[in-house]
Amino acid sequence: MRPTDLMPIGEVAHRAGIAPSALRFYEAQGLVTAERSGGGQRRYARSVLRRLAFVRAAQNVGLSLEEIRDALASLPDGRTPTAADWARLSRTWRARLDDQIAGLTALRDGLASCIGCGCLSLRRCALSNPDDGAAAAGSGARYLPPSLRRVPGR
């Protein structure tokens, strides 16, 4: 085995398009691991690049780092993950994306019907649906899927 082809943090950061500080942060969060050089500097295996690609892709789909860590934890223990392993993980994203798209589409269509009247009624307008019983009595629809809500609670 060649102990070489291990990359320092700067190179990984550059190749993955992620800041070194983020890489250290990911390590602290248990998303990636690294060997250490004699002097204590991080040395990354090439495989970390794929792992980072997965992290980024998952973020794009809207997963939190915690969800991503859980997903990565489900990878096989001993062996190197295969293409099929990665594919299995990302397969579940499809439904999530479908939800997100459906939510936005519903919101857009609600918008189309609201623009005409300019109502924005608390009780009736599809755009401003408060999901409490009193106000959203008629339609139970939620227009933005939770994964896309920038306002966490509510």
Binding site for DNA (CB under 7 A): 8-11, 13, 19-22, 24-26, 34, 37-42, 59, 64-66, 150-151, 153-154
Which helix (H) or strand (E) segment holds residue 62: the answer is none
Determine, following the binding rule CB under 8 A, whether residue 84 of this chain makes contact with a copy of itself: yes
Nearer to DNA, 76 or 152 (CB): 152
- CA 102 – CA 144 distance, rounded (Å): 9
Q: In the chain, what are the helix, strand and coil shares in percent, each to the nearest 5?
A: 50, 5, 45
Least distance in angstroms from the C-beta of 39 to a copy of itself: 28
Report what 144 binds from DNA, a copy of itself, none; CB cut-off 5-8 Å by kind.
a copy of itself
Least distance in angstroms from the C-beta of 40 to a copy of itself: 27
Report what 135 binds from DNA, a copy of itself, none; CB cut-off 5-8 Å by kind.
a copy of itself
- CA 27 – CA 48 distance, rounded (Å): 11
- CA 75 – CA 32 distance, rounded (Å): 13
The helix/strand/coil state of 35 is: strand
Determine, following the binding rule CB under 8 A, whether residue 17 of this chain makes contact with a copy of itself: yes
127: amino acid identity, one letter: L
| Chain centroid, CA 56 distance in Å | 7
Q: Which residues have CB under 8 Å from 74's CB, separation 6+?
A: 89
Determine, following the binding rule CB under 8 A, whether residue 117 of this chain makes contact with a copy of itself: yes
Determine, following the binding rule CB under 8 A, whether residue 53 of this chain makes contact with a copy of itself: yes
Which residues of this chain interact with a copy of itself, rule CB under 8 A? 14-18, 49-50, 52-54, 56-57, 59-62, 64, 82-88, 90-91, 93-94, 97-98, 100-101, 104-105, 107-108, 111-112, 114-122, 125, 127-132, 134-135, 143-144, 148-151, 154
